[in-house]
Amino acid sequence: MEFSELIRTGRAEALLLPGPGQSTVRGTLCITSHHLLLSAGHGSPSDLWLLLHNVDAVEKRVAGNSGTITLKCKDLQVLQLEIEGLGETLDIASSIEALSSLESVTTSYPFFFRPQSLRLGDAEDLYPPDHFYQQVALETDAWRLSTVNRDFQVCASYPPALVVPRGIGDEVLARSAHFRQGGRFPVLSYYHSTNGTVMLRSSQPLQGANRRRCAEDEELLRAALALGGQRGLVLDTRSAQAVKQARITGGGTEAKAAYPGWKRLHRPLERGRPLQDSFVRLVEACTDPSLSMDRWLSRLDGCRWLTHVKEALTTACLVAQGMDREGVCFLVHGAEGTDATLLVTSLAQLILDPKCRTMHGFQSLLEREWIQAGHPFQQRCAHSAYAQGRPKHEAPTFLLFLDCVWQLSRQFPLSLEFGEGMLLALFEHAYASPFGTFLCNSEKERYLCEVKTKTHSLWSSLNQSKERQRFCNPIYSPNPLALWPSVEPQSLQLWAGKVSFPVPLPALSIGSALTGFLPTPNSRPFPPMDSST
């Protein structure tokens, strides 16, 4: 495919109207295969470089011999461009529409992005497949690394290497996978080294209306419980009613009689369409300039976004508390086990495990519990809050996770090594990025598209010392304890960094005061003494 076929006009004179926190730029607008560039000439610092994949919705308006194009981006910024020429306006709008909606992964920008400071494949060793296992193996030899899924035959959405109870053979895993939706058999998600309890995750068992059982699946969970303690709890992220419904279509949950020692708990978390709707309503409310301000709080309430934040954090706290305080092992799943499940398991680890709160540890957590665990980023982040038309598989589950992490960072401002900037960057990159990290829906797809050898990793970029310093929390102080957040409604706040209000706050923050001069682990506050004096 030639990109040039989609570019109807590559060039026009345009004016970027200032929005919240933006300045006016007047200059030449260029459309390339992956970018929109608006340059005042001479590489001016105010030049606008916009990744076209970031465009969520294009609105055009023409009047006389000029037009206005409004670009609503996936990272929630809104750009207004005034363009000279009627034809140019229409051509540019349709070029942007065509280029921004391309779905092919291998022609996407990450496959062309070649920054000078990075080498391809240099993140290969950062989070190797057995990284997690090596950490667990330092604490216990009760678990092993299985490569039963090395060619993605057993489970298409799992990575090739998984951690399972040592006594369980690969053939048992394969049988269990048959009994689980999408083949996602129970695997180790987190080993709590202070008391040896474990957290597993999976998809729902294919119990069906006639309550099928699977001896191997039961054996697997029995073995896991024997390693982790006496009491187990299956945390189902759906309501009991939803499970009943699922049974009709072949799904279900663990029958009590079949899994001795395991009890069941339902903590319904919103997912899919309702979550996407909540996100859309939130962004509407935040950007609605006509909203009567005495109705703002009830409108915010009505979006229910903060309710979802509260529910997610509450559920994660419940799991973390059960493991840490009551010595209970958990199996977390909903239906597919790729959304709410990962939200709960990753948050619980952040609460319990100080290692996850470092820059490196957090990246490792994201890599393991979201990317390799098969959260379908491509589907979920295909569109953000502005896109017209019916959403298909879109859902801001990952954004909800980032929001929960932000709430933790607000309540424990010293305990996370990374700052708000890092969370915002992750949000942007998940929706549109020059890096390959969040491409595709699973490791299998990434393997087929050769993402790891043909694109750069976001992590190698973030770990460059300059970037690292930008995303670090300058007042980080390692905290060996669990973080128990308050989930009271008045303790949770709208993460304003995520949405741009019509009237932004003036920029005068503690962050800017802090990053000014404080020593960060990576930088020396003073230049080395000049030996020539």
Partner 1 sequence: MASAATPKYNSRSLENDSIRRSSRDGFTRDLCEEIPRLPGETRITDKEVIYICPFNGPIKGRVYITNYRLYLRSFETDSGALLDIPLGVIARVEKMGGASSRGENSYGLDITCKDMRNLRFALKQEGHSRRDIFEVLTKYAFPRSHGLPLFAFLNEEKFPENGWMVYNPIEEYRRQGLPNDQWRVSFVNKRFEMCETYPSILVVPYHSTDDDLRKVATFRSRNRIPATGGGYESDDVYHNAEIFFLDIHNIHVMRESLRKLKDIVYPNVEESHWLSSLESTHWLEHVKFVLTGAIQVADKVASGRSSVLVHCSDGWDRTAQLTSLAMLMLDSYYRTITGFEVLIQKEWISFGHKFASRIGHGEKNYADTDRSPIFLQFMDCVWQMSKQFPTAFEFNEQFLITILDNLYSCRFGTFLFNSEYAREKEKVMMKTLSLWSMINSDKGKYTNPFYTKELNRALYPVASMRHLELWVNYYIRWNTRMRQQQPDPVEQRYMELLALRDEYVKRLEEMKMTNSAKLTSPSASSSAPSQMMPHVQTHF
The amino acid sitting at 79 is L
Per-residue binding string, partner 1, 241-280, x by CB under 8 A, is ----------------------------------------
524 scored as a contact of partner 1 (CB under 8 A): yes
501 scored as a contact of partner 1 (CB under 8 A): yes
Among 415, 441, 457, 515, binds partner 1 (CB under 8 A): 415
Among 414, 450, 465, 466, binds partner 1 (CB under 8 A): 414
Q: Which residues are CB-neighbours of 484 under 8 A, at least 6 positions away?
A: 317, 320, 321, 351
Among 265, 413, 446, 464, binds partner 1 (CB under 8 A): 413
The amino acid sitting at 461 is S
How does strand 197-201 pair with strand 329-333? parallel
Structure tokens of 200? 């597993």
533 scored as a contact of partner 1 (CB under 8 A): yes
Structure tokens of 40? 């005042």
* CA-based nearest residue to 263, from 219, 232, 305, 220: 232
Residue 205: CB atoms within 10 A of its CB come to 27
When the beta carbons of 118 and 291 are compared against partner 1, the nearer one is 291
Among 411, 447, 452, 467, binds partner 1 (CB under 8 A): 411
Contact predicate 329/345, CB 8 Å: no
Cα R_g (the chain), whole angstroms:
24
289 scored as a contact of partner 1 (CB under 8 A): no
Site size for partner 1 (CB under 8 A): 52
19 scored as a contact of partner 1 (CB under 8 A): no
When the beta carbons of 260 and 502 are compared against partner 1, the nearer one is 502
What is the 8-class DSSP label of residue 531?
A: T
Contact predicate 127/367, CB 8 Å: yes
103 scored as a contact of partner 1 (CB under 8 A): no
Among 301, 325, 453, 466, binds partner 1 (CB under 8 A): 301
In which element (H, E) is residue 341 found? helix 340-352
Contact predicate 331/221, CB 8 Å: yes
Structure tokens of 460? 């190698």
237 scored as a contact of partner 1 (CB under 8 A): no
128 scored as a contact of partner 1 (CB under 8 A): no
Per-residue binding string, partner 1, 460-479, x by CB under 8 A, is ---------------x-xxx
Rounded to whole angstroms, the Cα distance separating 388 from 382 reads 12
Among 4, 28, 147, 491, binds partner 1 (CB under 8 A): 491
Question: Which residues, in sequence order, are bridge partners of residue 51?
Answer: 35
Give the footprint of partner 1 on this chain (CB under 8 A).
286, 293-298, 300-302, 306, 411-415, 475, 477-481, 483-484, 486, 488-491, 493, 496, 501, 503-506, 508-510, 513-514, 517-519, 523-526, 528-529, 531, 533
